[in-house]
Structure 1
Amino acid sequence: MTQTPPPSPATPRPRARAEIDLAALRANVRSLRARAPRAALMAVVKSDGYGHGALPCALAAREAGASWTGTATPHEALALRAAGLPGRIMCWLWTPGDPWREGIEADLDMSISGLWALAEVTAAAREVGRPARIQLKADTGLGRNGCQPADWPELVAAALLAESEGTAKVTGLWSHFACADEPGHPSIAAQLDVFRELVAYAEKAGVEPEVRHIANSPATLTLPESHFDLVRTGIAMYGVSPAPELGTHEALGLRPVMTLAASVALVKQVPAGHGVSYGHHYVTARETELGLIPLGYGDGIPRHASGRGPVLVGGEWHRAAGRIAMDQFVVDLGPAGGVGDEGRGHKIQEGADAVLFGPGDRGEPSAEDWAQAADTIAYEIVTRIGARVPRVYLHQDVGTDVP
C-alpha cells in the first residue's frame, strides 16, 4: 500500500484513515526480543503486514533489531526485496510452478515441505547456477503444511543429496504450533517433543542448519523452551494480543500499532420508530440523532458486527445501529444536543472523529473489542482493513520514538 503523509492543516483530512504508529511497532519488537534474548527475531509481514503495510513495518522492525523478515507467499517476499529490503527474507507458502528461480536470484530462504517442492527448487538452482537456500518444514502436529514425520527421513536424504550436488543449502529446520495460544494444551509439549526428535534426526544425518524455529507470537510470549535459534513474531509485533487467554495487550507489554478512524459524514435527527439501514433490524426507540460513519464491509469492517461494533464519537462509545453496509454504517448518538444558530443543533457535528479502534489513549475500543463483536479474532480485524483506507505513517524516523 502507498504511504500517505500525515494530513496538514492545508490538506483535507481523508474520509477515513488507518494511522500506523511505527514507534509503537519498534517498541513492540524490542519488548519481544527481550522475551527471547538468546534467539534472533523474525518480523512476519505477510498479508501486507497484517494490514499495516509490509515494507514500512519490515523496515521499522529491522531498525528495532529484527534480523529476519517473514512472508507467506514468494510474491510478497520478492516485492520486499525489489523494494530494497535487506537481510534474510523467508517465505513458506509455495505452490507448483511458483517463481523458484526468482526466489534464488533474490537470495530468499524458501520453505520445503515435500519432495515435489525440492525437485522444483533444485531444477531452478541448476538453471541459475547457484544453490537455493531452503528450510525444511516438519508437520509436528498442526496438520497443515510441512512434512509428516514418517516422510521426514526421505526428505532429509533428498535435501542432503541436493547439498552434495550444489543445488541447495539447508539453512533451517522449522515447524508451527497448533495451540500455542491455549496455555497448557497437551499438543504444545507433544509438538515440541516431535520437533526435537526430527531436528536431532536431521542433524545426525548431516544437516547443519543456521536456524531452528517453531515459536510464533504466543510461544514467544509464554514458552521460552520453544525459542531455539529464532522466534517468528506476527500479530504481537503489531501490538495485538494473540489470544484473550494470554492476556490483554497491556498485560503483555504491547501497544497496538493501528488506529482506525473516520470523519462523521452526516448527523441528522429522526423520530421514534425510524428504521435504520437494510432490513430495519434497528428501529429508534425515541427521537434521536443518527451519525453516519463512512466505512463498511467494502473497507473491511465486519458485517457480522452489525448492531454490536463499537465506535468512539464525542468521547462516548456508540454501537453500530442496524446492518453494516458496503460503504457505511450508522450509530445512534442519542437525544439531540440543543439549539444551534439555525434552529435545532447537534451535539456531534459533521467531520467529528469516529474512532473504531486503537491503543485506547482516548478511551476508544480495541481491535479485540471488534473481534468480540464479530465473533472472530483480532488478527482478522486489522488484516482485513482494505486498500481504499489510506495508511498514515507516524514516527517513521527512529529519532521520533517516544519512551
Structure 2
Amino acid sequence: MKHPATALAPARPEALGEGARLTVDLTAVAHNVRLLRRRTEAGLMAVVKADGFGHGAVDVARTATAAGAGWLGVTSVHEAVALRDAGLRVPVLSWLNPVDADFDTAVRRSVDLAVPSRDHLDAITRADGLARVHLHLDTGMARDGTEPGAWVDLCRQAYAAERDGRIRVVGVMGHLACAEMPGHPANAAGRRLFEWGVATARGAGLRPAVRHLAASAATLTEPRSHFDLVRVGAALVGIDPTGTTALRTALRLAAPIVAVRRVPAGTPVGYGHAWRAASTSTLGLVPIGYGDGLPRNAWDRAEVQVRGRRRRLAGRISMDQFVVDLGDDPVRPGETVTVFGPGDAGEPTLSDWAGWADTIAHELVTGLGPRLRREVLAVAKGSLT
C-alpha cells in the first residue's frame, strides 16, 4: 500500500523553544583556567568577547578572575564598560574599535585600548585623560593591527604622545595566524616579527611592560609565544582549537520532545522531502532549530542523544524545530533530547556538531539564540582551591 506524502505538523507557536535549556557550568571554566595557568609562566587574560563566547561575559569573567586570571579582554569599549559596571576591577583591554569610538568613556572607566593604526592613536590622544594603550602589530594576518611598514612611525608617534603625557604605552600585542596548527612555519615567522616589533618600540624610547601574542591555541602548544601575557578565550569554555588538550566543556543544550508519531516506511519529512523513513519508525519533534543557533547544513550528519542512545535527525533543520528518528524506542512527549554536552555520557559534543557543519565550535557557541532558556551552574565549593 502506498502512503501519501506527509510531513510532521509544526508545534504550537506558543510552544516553540519552550523547555529548551542551555546550561553553563562555571566549574568547568574554573577548571580550565587552573589548567591553563599551569601551562604557562605568563599572566593570563580571560577573553570574554561575544558575551563570553556565548556563555555569559560577566559570569565567565568573574569565574576566571577568581580562578587566577589577572586580565580581561574584549573587543569593544561597550563590552569593556559592561564588565566595569558589573564590578570587575582587574585590567580590561579593548582591541577592536572604530576611530570614532567612545574613547573618553574608555579612559574614564580605566579601560586599556589597542592602537592598530596612526588614526587610532590620534583619536585616542584626543580623549580626556591619560589613556593606557597597547600598540597592535599585524604579525601575519593582514587584518587588525598596524602593517610592519608603518610600525616604526607608529612607535615614534606613540613615544611623542607618551612624552607629552597624553598616553601611556602599557603593551605591545599581535596575533598568530596558524597557532591551531602546532609547528606551522607561520607561527615562528609571526613570533620573529613580533619580537622585531617589541625591539623597535623599545628602540623608539617606549618601555612596554606587557608583551602578548598567544591566544588559546598558542597558549596550549607554542610556549615560546607566551611572553608576558597570554589571551585565552575559547579555551576558557572548553574549546581547544588544536585538539591536543583535555579541557572541560562548559555548555550543554537539551530540549524536550513535544510530539511523537509512528510513521510507515517511505514517509517524507520536512522541507523538500530531503529525508524519507527507510522503515516503520517513530519520529520525535524537538522545538529548537536554526533560529536558536543549530547549523542547518548539518542535518544529514547530525546526531542527538535520546534515552542514552545517539539518534540521527530526520529531515532538514527548520528555523524553530527539527525531527529525530527514534527507531522503535517507545519514547513519549516530554522526554529529553541532549543536543550537545561534554560527551561524558556519550552525548554529541560541540566538536561533533562543528564537524557535521564544517565549521568551528567558536561559531556554534557564539551563535546560540536568545530564545534558549539559560541556566548557570555556580562554581562548586572548593573547586577554586
What is the Cα deviation at residue 402 of structure 1? 8.9
User: Does residue 1:261 correspond to 2:260, yes or no?
Assistant: no
Which residue of 2 is the match for residue 82 of structure 1?
A: 85
Gaps of 5+ in 2: 1-16
Which residue of 1 is the match for residue 53 of structure 2?
A: 50
What is the Cα deviation at residue 74 of structure 1? 1.6
Which residue of 2 is the match for residue 147 of structure 1?
A: 146
Equivalent residue runs for 1:26-105 within 5 Å: 26-36=30-40, 38-105=41-108
In the alignment, is the contact (CA less than 8 A) between 2:66 and 2:384 conserved in 1? no
Stretches of 4+ moved more than 3 A in 1? 400-403
Q: Which amino acid is 2:216 matched to?
A: S
Separation (CA, whole Å) in 1 of partners of 2:263 and 2:230: 54
Q: Which amino acid is 1:90 matched to?
A: L
In the alignment, is the contact (CA less than 8 A) between 1:264 and 1:294 conserved in 2? yes
Q: Output one character per residue of 1:177-202: Cα deviation in whole Å (capped at 9) or x when no partner.
A: 00000122111111111110110111
**Of 355, 362, 367, the match for 1:384:** 367
The 3 A distance-change label for structure 1 pair 21 and 70 is: same
User: Does residue 1:282 correspond to 2:275, yes or no?
Assistant: yes
Separation (CA, whole Å) in 1 of partners of 2:259 and 2:372: 19
User: Does residue 1:114 correspond to 2:117, yes or no?
Assistant: yes
Percentage identity across paired residues of the two chains:
46
User: Does residue 1:294 correspond to 2:298, yes or no?
Assistant: no
In the alignment, is the contact (CA less than 8 A) between 2:182 and 2:222 conserved in 1? no
Q: Output one character per residue of 1:55-107: Cα deviation in whole Å (capped at 9) or x when no partner.
A: 00000000100000111122111111122221111111111211111111110
Which residue of 2 is the match for residue 342 of structure 1?
A: none
User: Does residue 1:270 correspond to 2:266, yes or no?
Assistant: no
In the alignment, is the contact (CA less than 8 A) between 1:52 and 1:391 conserved in 2? no
Equivalent residue runs for 1:325-344 within 5 Å: 325-335=318-328, 337=329
Which residue of 2 is the match for residue 176 of structure 1?
A: 175
In the alignment, is the contact (CA less than 8 A) between 1:290 and 1:333 conserved in 2? yes
The 3 A distance-change label for structure 1 pair 348 and 400 is: farther
Q: Output one character per residue of 1:182-226: Cα deviation in whole Å (capped at 9) or x when no partner.
A: 122111111111110110111122111121010011110011111
SS of corresponding position for 2:126: helix
TM-score (norm 2): 0.93
Q: Which amino acid is 1:75 matched to?
A: H
Separation (CA, whole Å) in 2 of partners of 1:278 and 1:257: 33
SS of corresponding position for 2:381: helix
User: Does residue 1:224 correspond to 2:228, yes or no?
Assistant: no
Separation (CA, whole Å) in 1 of partners of 2:311 and 2:364: 18
User: Does residue 1:199 correspond to 2:203, yes or no?
Assistant: no
User: Does residue 1:369 correspond to 2:352, yes or no?
Assistant: yes
Separation (CA, whole Å) in 2 of partners of 1:394 and 1:311: 23
Separation (CA, whole Å) in 1 of partners of 2:111 and 2:366: 24
Q: Which amino acid is 1:135 matched to?
A: H
Q: Which amino acid is 2:354 matched to?
A: A
What is the Cα deviation at residue 310 of structure 1? 1.4
In the alignment, is the contact (CA less than 8 A) between 1:31 and 1:253 conserved in 2? no
Separation (CA, whole Å) in 1 of partners of 2:38 and 2:48: 20
Q: Which amino acid is 1:256 matched to?
A: T
The 3 A distance-change label for structure 1 pair 158 and 401 is: same
What is the Cα deviation at residue 270 of structure 1? 1.2
Equivalent residue runs for 1:337-352 within 5 Å: 337=329, 347-352=330-335
In the alignment, is the contact (CA less than 8 A) between 1:23 and 1:400 conserved in 2? no
Which residue of 1 is the match for residue 301 of structure 2?
A: 308
Which residue of 2 is the match for residue 344 of structure 1?
A: none
Q: Output one character per residue of 1:318-369: Cα deviation in whole Å (capped at 9) or x when no partner.
A: 122111000100011002x4xxxxxxxxx11211111111111221011000
Separation (CA, whole Å) in 1 of partners of 2:270 and 2:251: 28
Q: Which amino acid is 1:217 matched to?
A: S
TM-score (norm 1): 0.89
In the alignment, is the contact (CA less than 8 A) between 2:19 and 2:373 conserved in 1? no
User: Does residue 1:190 correspond to 2:189, yes or no?
Assistant: yes
Which residue of 2 is the match for residue 393 of structure 1?
A: 376
Equivalent residue runs for 1:11-22 within 5 Å: 15-22=19-26
In the alignment, is the contact (CA less than 8 A) between 2:125 and 2:167 conserved in 1? yes
